[in-house]
Amino acid sequence: MAGSKPGPGSLRLRASELDHLAPLLGLGRHMQFDMMLYTASTWVLPVILAVTLHEAAHGFVAHFFGDDTAWRLGRVSLNPLKHVDPLGTILIPAFLLLLHAPFLFGYAKPVPVNFRALRTPGEIWSSWLRPARLRTLR
């Protein structure tokens, strides 16, 4: 029959289903490492990239409108280590991943902005950068 052939995505298993089947199929520890690598590549790396771009954008907009505080401190950078907060960027998200929480939460070090140094529209743009960026991504 021409219509009975399964599609390419119909045989995929979710990670939780694969965890239950792993001992039966003899996959063991190697598959667990693969699942950890899959989780890291689909959750951790994109979140780190998004947080880094977000915080660097705050500093860039503040610098554009007259405040060079973040620029002088080296926080307008695409280096994720400049924006890592040990508790909010590492411990809380790792704890939630280990608990298999249905959500992921975390935060980075806030970029310092001296609002007195900003020219008039700079305060508004620096504060509203995130909602505007999210609107353009939709």
Active site members: 55
Closest CA to 126 of 46, 24, 43, 56: 56
Taking the C-alpha atoms of residue 82 and residue 52, their distance in angstroms, rounded to an integer, is 8
Closest CA to 60 of 108, 113, 107: 113
Taking the C-alpha atoms of residue 115 and residue 70, their distance in angstroms, rounded to an integer, is 12
